Chain A
């Protein structure tokens, strides 16, 4: 292509603008959380911590934080276990109906959350397990298992297939080959899938809102505050939420990336 310098810099400038658009809401939310104005705009008001103090002293928020933590850790555990089992099955076995088998785990993210929320609400009511923390955990596991599966499957495809066979030939049975060869090899992917599924669960609001009953998670609290009126508390809670999920995502990616570098 023409190495036209002007065009090149125009494209870079455009790319930078797109990144500004993508990160502006995150950045502004953090800035506004330290801003004294009730309705933040420019020029900014004074620096303040009062929104954080309001949030800190709110027992509802603490309760919700505890629920969110329980939900996201349990979800991450279940989803990663399911994802690992499925990824291994796909890696090792071939059988008829495999496309259906894979569709079963990979399809949930393509269905709009609001539809999943309605379906889960009705189904849990039918089974008599609605309005519990457990209902959110189950729903989130269905939603996040595909992510776990994809990450771990990718890792397995980097493994030398003769590795497991070698372990069998050296006398390991299937279970100990699994424990000593497969699981250690997949460890970075397992850690990173744990973090990512926890992050998705921590931020999910539509399903939680529908099925949670009285056990509100943090995103549900945010949704309720936002529906009321403009309240900068949301920015304080939001910044906290961003901090948690970004930390999880960054850990996940760093674990995957450093491993890859070491092996190359």
Chain B
């Protein structure tokens, strides 16, 4: 996003110290150092602090790490969170794909713009209220089971299951994933798709051999975002998934809200951040890797 236009050379006082320049450049550096980098670094440090007599004291001990990483329930939570976020990502990506495919290839430019407009709305509305709404809809005597009972089916238990959690995750991630996938697919060169078709390639083969490889970068980025959002969400597994056993975000909430054990919560948070960093890094490597063969 750099602008290296020659007309910029007329800009006065670029090299020397300029109050104007610093007025626009410095605020965010100060603000984010103090309130973004500061808190995160402090949290990492806090994972080495110690709690005595219900008070946190600054220290450097490995006790919290040993205590958390040495417990089975921590690892149960860890792999559960991985599993749920993984399933959520696969399901969301799969459900989103035909929708994004339709928006990218089968509708006009203005319909596509309107659809994206509609998909942005939920992103800025209360996730919490939508989850509560799902809670009522999915309940044993809720709307879906009442509807199914007219057909002589059910009732199905949907709350406090992995299904419930994934529905919750999708409430959070599906609109964003459809938007990102639509952008990724829109960038695919149409003439290549047509060429494949004219040469006798069947639709599903065209998707697999032509469209997917060309849209790979965007699709992987969508999946990474989907995974990060699901992995860090405590509302869906708590209200729709039943929170037994807890996922890592629920573990943080419980640890903080039920006592003074902030350092142990910090351990969980640091483990989550490292995990997500590795996932994001692997995703980016895969997205920008040059194609072999």
Residues of A within 8 A of B (CB): 1-2, 7-8, 11-12, 14-15, 18-19, 21-26, 28-29, 32, 39-43, 81-82, 85-86, 88-94, 98, 101-102, 104-105, 107-108, 110-116, 118-123, 126, 138-139, 141-142, 145, 153, 157, 161-162, 165, 168-169, 173-175, 178, 196, 199-200, 203, 205-206, 210, 219, 222-223, 226, 230, 234-235, 237-238, 241-242, 245-246, 248-250, 253
Contacts and interface: CB of A to CB of B under 8 A. Distances in A.
A207 to B, nearest CB: 11
B239 A41 contact: no
B195 to A, nearest CB: 11
A237 to B, nearest CB: 8
Given A2-B197, A123-B38, A200-B124, A26 B133 contact: yes
B52 interface: no
B137 A245 contact: no
Given A40-B136, A118-B252, A249-B124, 9 more contacts: A1-B105, A15-B103, A21-B174, A24-B137, A25-B133, A26-B125, A104-B32, A118-B262, A235-B133
A192 to B, nearest CB: 11
Nearest to A166: B7
B156 interface: no
A26 B8 contact: no
Contacts of A28: 133, 136-137, 143
The secondary structure that dominates the A interface is helix
Size category, B interface? 35 or more
B239 A226 contact: yes
A82 to B, nearest CB: 5
Nearest to B134: A25
Most buried by A among B20, B38, B103, B124: B124
B121 interface: yes
A135 B224 CA distance: 30
A219 B128 contact: yes
Interface in B192-226: 193-194, 197, 203, 206
Given A11-B101, A85-B23, A142-B32, A238 B133 contact: yes
Contact of B233 (A26, A112, A161, A219): A112
Given A85-B27, A93-B21, A205 B128 contact: yes
Contacts of A94: 2-4
Nearest to A88: B24
25 contacts: A15-B103, A28-B136, A29-B132, A29-B133, A82-B31, A85-B25, A85-B28, A91-B3, A93-B25, A105-B28, A113-B232, A114-B249, A114-B269, A115-B269, A118-B265, A123-B43, A145-B28, A145-B32, A161-B7, A161-B8, A178-B20, A200-B124, A219-B126, A238-B133, A249-B124
Contacts of B119: 22
A81 B23 CA distance: 11
B243 to A, nearest CB: 11
A114 B27 CA distance: 26
A85 B4 CA distance: 19
Given A113-B232, A118-B265, A41 B35 contact: no
B68 to A, nearest CB: 14
A56 to B, nearest CB: 18
Contact of A142 (B3, B36, B256): B36
The 9 closest A-B pairs by CB, nearest first: A112-B232, A238-B129, A123-B39, A25-B133, A119-B39, A25-B130, A119-B43, A11-B102, A29-B133
